[in-house]
A and B are shown apart, each in its own frame.
Chain A
Amino acid sequence: MQKGVMRLGRVELKVMDLQEATNYYTNIIGLEETGRDDERVYFKAWDESDHHSIILRKADSPGMEHMGFKVRSIDDLAKFEKEIETFGLTTKRVSDGTRLAEGQGIRCELPTGHQLELYAEIEKLGTAVGTLNPHPWPENLRGIAPHRLDHVLLTGDDVENATRFFMEVLDFGQSERITTVDQEHMIGSFLYTTNKAHDIAFIKGPDAKFHHAGFHVDNWYDVLKAADILTRNEVTIEVTPTRHGITRGQTVYFYDPSGNRNEAFASGYMTYPDFETITWTEDKIGQGIFYHRRELIESFSKALT
């Protein structure tokens, strides 16, 4: 049976200066602007087909307004609406035309306080290389130029129930978890619906907070080159290129002009429906997150938006 949720489709980020943020996501991240309305600017990465994956919205504080997962069909949307209600969360319909290029969706608040939307329809623009005899990448890329939005990491108190929701209702798998040393309590959870190492993750912390959005680049050298681009543009880098123990991905962490954390993320293993969940105990969390440094840094757990 094919799973109903295909992928993390979009993240709407709150920014304090829309023009400054637009310049950053266009020229430094290297996304393509695909539309604007009164309050928002819409972007896609060059290898994405749908109208947008990042929405910037003007606000007085940074953070994540909502994230949207794309499901296969309108029928799936109705099915999930029922199952979410049965799980005990309240859903509401997001009517057509609320934002550019989007069809109807449903919205609910997760046990961690984050806003989740599911949707099936969005206008397609196609990738920058097309689908007929395509070249591997387009000319005239700018900035980091990731292939696509990869994942988000969020913080909240009830990591257990957020995990239960994604696994029981949305049929996600759990690739990894971080637990107390006795393995009794879960304090981190990495979840997938594709065959990537994670599509969304939760770390125990303050509710409704945004930790980062990860963008996929091809390989270790592209992570290094992303860091070069960040220094050239005087972007604050939080963690210089290294490897994660969790996911085995290669990473650099940095901040957008409103303080929302971004990541250029490469590699990581593949998951399958029968992937066995990996456990990291809390005493090894430093190595799990920063495999070489083997210690957390203060900002990584405290700088949230």
Chain B
Amino acid sequence: MITNDHELITEMRMLRDQVMGVTDMVVVTTDGLLIAADTGEAVDLDRLAAVAAATLGLAAGSGKAMNKGAPRQTTAEYSDGFLVVRPVGAVALMAVLGDLGMDVARLHVQSQAVAERINRLLTAPEEAEAASR
């Protein structure tokens, strides 16, 4: 279920423009259903969506087991880049792929605001509908 929502795509592209080294990004439901993507052609979207959901799920389980609360972000550094996963509200998450030189500190700051805006975009219709009832 991938969307063409213009505002959602714009948010993702803005993050890529603002943070050096960001190469790809997806927004996914917490159970791994792809919502939107801004990626190159070589990225396997379904696999990235599943991996992102599993990564955050594992982090949430670890946090619970260690009494550390809910995860705010997971960052995995590999020999050829980064995978960063962050929750988007209570029902979705965003996964960011970056190259070796990605500005992780800037991503941490910018992605927080982006996650909040994406959460509003995802939940606003439901809020509006509830308000109209």
A and B assemble together = no
Interface residues of B (CB under 8 A from A): none
Interface residues of A (CB under 8 A from B): none
